Amino acid sequence: MSDEPTAPYPLAQMRESVRGTLVERMGIELVEVTPERVVATMPVEGNTQPYGLLHGGASCALAETVGSVAASLQAPDRLAVGIEINASHHRATRAGLVTGTATPVHVGRSVAVFEVVVTDARDRRICTARLTCMLVDRV
């Protein structure tokens, strides 16, 4: 038996579970889900602020999405609930897809922390976020 975490459900089922949620409305698509990293894309179009730039809150929503999925993989028998997020926005982008990649910083019994790097279509870092999730028992 392996100590390595496993996904609670397949990628197709994870994609199906976001129907009707903010994730779907923002166009966030999971593209890679492994215990080592979770990757998703999001279109800039439709997620901008009034000046036509990607909204910082959209980057945070992408970061919380990939970080929460990553945390759920580390504790498949528990729920991962975001309790803190911070983000530094490094540069603006106006078009194309952005990609969020979550990797673990710390995974404990009740708390998991992930770094999320958001890059633009030219693979330039536009945002660095840190998400802390509490791992709680399912009711």
Is 64 among the residues known to form the active site?
yes
| Rounded-to-10 torsion of CA 11, 40, 15, 2 | 30
Instruction: Give this prediction's pTM.
Output: 0.90
Token duo for residue 99: 């990609």
The domains of the chain are located at 11-137
Region 30-59 average pLDDT: 96
Q: Give the per-residue pLDDT at 93.
A: 98
Predicted pLDDT of residue 108:
96
Tens digits of per-residue pLDDT, 62-72?
A: 999 999 999 99
What are the Cα distances from residue 121, in Å, to 23, 103, 110? 20, 20, 35
For domain 11-137, give the CATH number. 3.10.129.10
Residues 90-128 pLDDT 10s: 999 999 999 999 999 999 999 999 999 999 999 999 999
Given the residues 32, 64, 84, 115, select the one marked as catalytic: 64
Strands of the 78-89 sheet, one edge to the other: 29-33, 38-43, 97-107, 111-119, 125-137, 78-89
Calculate what percentage of the chain has a pLDDT beyond 90.
82
* Beta carbons within 10 angstroms of residue 102's beta carbon: 28
